[in-house]
Structure 1
Amino acid sequence: MAPTSLYPRNTVKKIVKAHADDRPLSKNVDILIFLNYELFLMELVKEASIASKQSGERGITARSVRKVRENCLRKFKG
Structure 2
Amino acid sequence: MAPSQTLYPRSTVKRIIKAHSDRKLSKNVDVMIFLDYTLFLQDLIREASIRSKQAGERGVSARTIRKATETSLRKFKG
Q: TM-score, normalised by structure 2?
A: 0.85
For residues 12-48 of structure 1, give each alpha carbon's deviation from its aligned partner in whole angstroms, at most 9, with x where no partner exists.
2122111121x21101001000000000000000010
Give aligned pairs, total.
77
Q: Does 1:37 pair with 2:37?
A: yes
In structure 2, the CA distance between the partners of 1:33 and 1:50, relative to structure 1 (3 Å rule), is same
In structure 2, the partner of 1:9 is 10
Task: Supply the distance in 1 between the matched residues of 2:9 and 2:64 (Cα, whole angstroms).
Answer: 30
> What is the aligned-residue RMSD (CA, Å)?
1.7
What is the rounded CA distance, in whole Å, between the counterparts of 1:60 and 1:52 in structure 2?
Answer: 6
Q: Could you list the structure 1 runs, at least 4 aligned residues long, displaced by more than 6 angstroms after superposition.
A: none
TM-score (norm 1): 0.85
CA distance in 2, matches of 1:8, 1:44: 27
Structure 1 unmatched ranges of 5 or more: none
Instruction: Supply the distance in 1 between the matched residues of 2:69 and 2:3 (Cα, whole angstroms).
Output: 37
Q: 1:64 to 1:7 in 2, by over 3 A?
A: farther
Most deviating of 44-53 and 1-10: 1-10
